[in-house]
Amino acid sequence: MVAPASMPTLEVEGLETRFITRRGPVPAIRDISLTVNKGEIVGLVGESGSGKSVTGLSIMGLIEAPGEVSAGKVLLNGEDLRKVSRRRLRQLRGDRIAMVFQDPMMTLNPVLRIRTQMVEAIHAHDQSVGAEAARQRCRDALAQVGIPSPEERLDAYPHQFSGGMRQRVAIAIALLNRPDLIIADEPTTALDVTIQAQILAVVQSLCREHGTALIWITHDLSVVAGLAERIYVMYGGCVVEQGGVDAVLDRPLHPYTDGLIRSVPWHNEPGRPLNQIRGMVPPLDRMPKGCRFWPRCDRATEGCRAPVALDEIRTGQRARCIHPLVESR
Amino acid sequence: MSEQPPVIEVCHVSRRFSRRLDLVQRVARRLGARVHERTVHAVDDVSLTIGEGEAVGLVGESGCGKSTLGRLVAGIDTPSAGEVRFRGQPVAQDDSEAARRTALKIQMIFQDPLDSLNPRHRMGRIVGEGARYHRVVPSGEIDSHVDTVLEQVGLDPSMKSRFPHQFSGGQRQRIGIARALAVRPEVVVCDESVASLDVSIQAQIINLFMRLRAELGLAYLFISHDIGVVRHIADRVVVMYLGRVVEEGPTKTLFDAPNHPYTQALMSEVPRLDNRHVDFNPITGEIPSPLDPPSGCHFHPRCPHAHERCRMEVPRLKRLADGRFSACHLNDA
Amino acid sequence: MTDAALILPEEDDLPPPPPPRSPGRELLIELFRDKLALTGILIVWVLAVLAFLAPLIAPQDPYDLMQIDFMDSRLPPGAESMTGMTFWLGTDDQGRDLFSAILYGLRTSIEVGILSAAIALVIGASIGLVSAYAGGRTDALLMRIVDLQLSFPAILIALILLAILGQGVDKIIIALVVTQWAYYARTVRGSALVERRRAYVDAARCQALPKRRIIFGHILPNCLPPLIVVATMRVAYAIMLEATLSFLGIGLPVTEPSLGLLISNGYTYLLSGDYWISVFPGIALVLLIIGINLIGDTLRDLLNPRLRR
């Protein structure tokens, strides 16, 4: 099925995932809509409890009981992943859409050699590839992610690599079948600065060369600032702001986004107290009604207790707030 | 400035970890096999000082030894060579009264708040046990002392009967801070104390550290891989790579004009909120394993300016200007 | 800014957090919620109550020779004695009421089992803790002793010990302790080694707390989960071991009530139709052990840190 060039690689509409607990269903994410175009890098930013990881897993169809995706559409090149058969989903996963996790050992099997796992990933989607051709593709993938002496490295086991190298191998596996979309969930959070920079370079060149779309899920606004073209900010299971990276970071609309930006140490003058957002993220089963953020917001009024829609307040920039920060900073 | 010795003096401290050969390996060596002990120089001849009320930041990546150095300063570990001194006196490791008094003066705040709190102890006990045992305040006043400390760090004293798992991450870190404060320390070693926290909670805890420093005149050794945090809180910064100090200087000058190529790489590669649409072009190469570090200057395989001398000779930490030191052969030119 | 008043969250906007419960109470609540464990608890509870009330409820004191009449021997269940007492479970080859004998026997089994397990636990856990904290040569030495101990079958060690010490309840307990302590030592050492690396131990050392307090006050409470599971299972094993030894004739002396002894006595009559002499004590023993195992199984799942939370 060939998609027209203008169709976005991924279109998510109204996605909702919930967890069934002893006390009833608890929504983890609600009303999530996002779009990623061909070759585009999109950042999904949020702190713990925001639902960003659940969003990534829901798109991939990896949510299992007691969780379930309860509403919404996930259109990959026009095909709704929520409606396809399990067989088709398995065909697509690893082939057209792939995921990279924070811990590379979630991808890598410690008892298999790298080549075994990589060749398996190729054959799972295309039986016709010969052994030598498969090996060549694996070698190329490793070289692309910057692993020196790929020929020897193919025969190694995961524990023989350092943390940064393992993550690169995980990315190489994700790329093997040239997927249209990669979802990366905190892939560099556990890595050192210089190694993270290398991985960012790898990922950036791959997206540019092959037109792979990328969703980069992280809590680190600074990484997304350099890497992404558009940002979605999540809080309490909803998208609270979205837009171009410059617009959102220089002229945030939502008080949470603003608070988050101001909390970053580099953004503040050394020695002065950092801006902090008071209070804490409430647990999933005790989310406030209406705007999720109002108990911690300095601009909250009575109207904030009612559900708020994600409105386009400026061209190309949306925020879920009835008191957005429209004055310039 | 008075002539008093600095609060903390780390004098040519090294910490080596070696795996002793077992019986089979020793026999093999006797028979001529080339088996030798593997030694990791986690900390290699490091010296630094912390002055009264000063906040010294310690940065570096995996394997640089900053955590090990923190433990040596806090007294949890013993150096293989060199000495750690508190106000001129060596920090002894024995069970004497003096050693215990000194130990209480240097406290540590750990990285993982959940792991550093005993899951079976209630919060009140965690915070107050040390102070109670060592009679930091007379026994009649201990309860109010603990309450005061809790309020200082922003915790509700009525939660003393709760267990660690019933608190949030930020609150757990505050418990750790309260525990340290309860024994009236003069120096606090913060080992990646905000690393596991979300940005908004991190801001709260950093502000708390700064407030306590102003109120209590504490000195800090702030260990972090997050350069932005260190820039905010430290007066001076020490940069480590594979067990050695490569650069040291006042925060502002070090950030504005880093001297050592490693520091330069670190500064340019750390993601900044203001850097948009970056074309990533980092230095290449893996961080070497501490078990097998490169010869001469440890950084030479990855350094864009490396030359022959860098491979042969270990650069000494040289004074560049007031308070600025760097260990690079390029400075000799 | 808007003209509406600023609002702050009120207490009733969010439901109150649940009150804190200690880990011990949480565990008990979870335990009672599990059906299998509940069954086990019920079985053990009933048997234990019966056993301890034995002197009050047993129709006959089976070890009082005055009360036993040889003429009553090998009567089937439900038969009546000369004196009009009903033998609910029949009598053994000496004329003892089996029901009473089983009650007294249960009592001894439980007492011996728990006492030996408790003493072995204290000794074994202490050795395991010290071994883990000391490390190095001490640890190696102690663990080699443990290995040595565990490489011999428990029955063999018990046999040898009892041959040397002779018979008697206290000697049995000593033998059981000697065969059991090593399991506790090894279990606790394993946990303690893990706990020793954790940051809270470093924090305690940073606060200059004495070693003994760290080992017993900080590390030990965290070694309890596997210890509880092992202890539960070992109690069952101790009971079974004692029964085995008594069956073989070297356990408790003939004058002390024991389920093993009863089973042994009735063994010769099994095939000739007087099944009850062996079978009923056997059932009682099996029920007891199953009950304890059910509790232990559930405890193991509940205390498994990976399955929790």
- B273 vs A165, A194, A221: nearest CB: A221
**Which residues in chain A touch residue B237, judged by CB atoms under 8 angstroms apart?**
none
pLDDT confidence bin for A146, thresholds 50/70/90: confident
Residue range A38-61, pLDDT digits in tens: 989 999 999 888 889 999 999 998
For C280-307, b where at least 16 C-beta lie within 10 A, e where not — what string?
bbbebbeebbebbbbbbbbbbebbeeee
Mean pLDDT, chain B, rounded, equals: 88
**Amino acid present at B184:** R
Pairing of β B187-191 and β B219-224: parallel
For the residues A271-277, what does the mean pLDDT come to? Answer: 84
Whether B269 has its CB under 8 Å from any CB of chain A: the answer is yes
Inter-chain CB proximity A301 and C9 less than 8 Å: no
**Chain C residue with minimum CA distance to B97:** C208
pLDDT confidence bin for B253, thresholds 50/70/90: very high
- B199 vs A219, A229, A249: nearest CB: A219
The shortest C-alpha distance from B282 to chain A (Å) reads 6
Number of H helices, E strands in chain A: 10, 12
The shortest C-alpha distance from A255 to chain C (Å) reads 13
Q: Please give the pLDDT value at position A109.
A: 92
pLDDT confidence bin for B2, thresholds 50/70/90: low
pLDDT confidence bin for A5, thresholds 50/70/90: low
Whether B286 has its CB under 8 Å from any CB of chain A: the answer is yes
Distances (CA, A) of A277 to A56, A260, B204: 26, 8, 8
**Amino acid present at C76:** P
**Chain A residue with minimum CA distance to B252:** A270
Contacts of C39 (CB under 8 A, 6+ apart): C291, C294
Residue range C6-38, pLDDT digits in tens: 444 443 444 455 566 677 777 788 788 888 888
| Six token digits for residue B13 | 């401290």
Q: Please give the pLDDT value at position B96.
A: 81
Whether A22 has its CB under 8 Å from any CB of chain C: the answer is no
Q: Please give the pLDDT value at position C74.
A: 78
Distances (CA, A) of B72 to B52, B189, C28, C228: 19, 10, 43, 37
Question: Which residues of B make CB contacts under 8 Å with C?
Answer: 71, 74-76, 95, 99-100, 103-104, 107-108, 110-112, 115-121, 129-130, 133-134, 161-163, 165-166, 176, 179, 183
Q: Please give the pLDDT value at position C6.
A: 40
Q: Which residue out of B22, B116, B179, B186 would a mutagenesis test of the C interface target, given it has the greatest number of C Cβ atoms within 10 Å?
A: B116
Residue range C101-159, pLDDT digits in tens: 888 888 888 888 899 999 999 999 999 999 998 888 889 899 999 999 999 998 899 88
For the residues A121-144, what does the mean pLDDT come to? Answer: 88
Alpha helices, DSSP H, located in chain C: 23-33, 35-52, 54-57, 98-134, 136-151, 154-165, 169-196, 199-206, 211-213, 220-247, 259-267, 276-303
Inter-chain CB proximity C6 and A302 less than 8 Å: no
Task: With beta carbons less than 8 A apart as the criterion, state whether B42 and B16 touch.
Answer: yes
Helix (H, G, I), strand (E, B) or coil at A183: strand
- B162 vs C20, C200, C204: nearest CB: C20
For the residues A70-86, what does the mean pLDDT come to? Answer: 90
Residue range B38-72, pLDDT digits in tens: 888 899 999 999 999 999 999 998 888 899 999 99
Phi, psi (deg, nearest 5) at residue C97 = -70, 120
Q: Please give the pLDDT value at position A248.
A: 92
Contacts of B215 (CB under 8 A, 6+ apart): B152
- In this predicted structure, the answer to whether residue C2 has a pLDDT above a threshold of 60 is no
Q: Could you tell me the domains of chain B? A: 8-332 (3.40.50.300)
The shortest C-alpha distance from B104 to chain C (Å) reads 6
DSSP C91: B
Q: Please give the pLDDT value at position C57.
A: 76
Q: Could you tell me the domains of chain A? A: 1-96+180-187+220-329 (3.40.50.300)
Tell me which of B1 and A8 has the higher pLDDT. A8
**Which residues in chain A touch residue B62, judged by CB atoms under 8 angstroms apart?**
163, 192
Residue range B264-281, pLDDT digits in tens: 998 888 888 888 888 888
Inter-chain CB proximity B129 and C205 less than 8 Å: no
Percent of chain C topping pLDDT 90: 23
Inter-chain CB proximity B110 and C203 less than 8 Å: yes
Q: Please give the pLDDT value at position A66.
A: 87
Q: Please give the pLDDT value at position B218.
A: 92
| Six token digits for residue A183 | 């979802």
Chain B, 289 to 318: residues with Cβ < 8 Å from chain A are 289
Inter-chain CB proximity B129 and C203 less than 8 Å: no
Nearest-angstrom CA–CA distance, B269 and B62: 16
pLDDT confidence bin for A264, thresholds 50/70/90: confident
What ipTM, to 2 d.p.?
Answer: 0.87
Percent of chain B topping pLDDT 70: 99
Tell me which of A21 and A228 has the higher pLDDT. A228
pLDDT confidence bin for C229, thresholds 50/70/90: confident
Question: Distance between the two ends of chain B, CA-based, in angstroms?
Answer: 35
**Which residues in chain B touch residue C221, judged by CB atoms under 8 angstroms apart?**
118, 120-121
pLDDT confidence bin for A329, thresholds 50/70/90: very low
- In this predicted structure, the answer to whether residue A7 has a pLDDT above a threshold of 90 is no
**Chain B residue with minimum CA distance to A192:** B61
Partners of B57 in beta bridges: B222, B237
- C206 vs B76, B133, B165: nearest CB: B76
Lowest mean pLDDT among B23-32, B107-116, B238-247, C15-24: C15-24
Q: Please give the pLDDT value at position B258.
A: 92
Burial class (CB within 10 angstroms; exposed 0-12, middle 13-18, buried 19+) of C271? exposed
Chains near A (3 or more Cβ pairs under 8 Å):
B, C
Neighbours of A124 (CB within 10 A): 15
For the residues A33-39, what does the mean pLDDT come to? Answer: 92
- In this predicted structure, the answer to whether residue B145 has a pLDDT above a threshold of 50 is yes
Residue range C280-302, pLDDT digits in tens: 888 989 999 999 988 888 888 88
- In this predicted structure, the answer to whether residue B177 has a pLDDT above a threshold of 90 is yes
**Chain A residue with minimum CA distance to B214:** A271
Q: Please give the pLDDT value at position C14.
A: 44
- In this predicted structure, the answer to whether residue C56 has a pLDDT above a threshold of 60 is yes
Q: Please give the pLDDT value at position A240.
A: 93
Q: Please give the pLDDT value at position C17.
A: 56
The shortest C-alpha distance from B31 to chain C (Å) reads 25
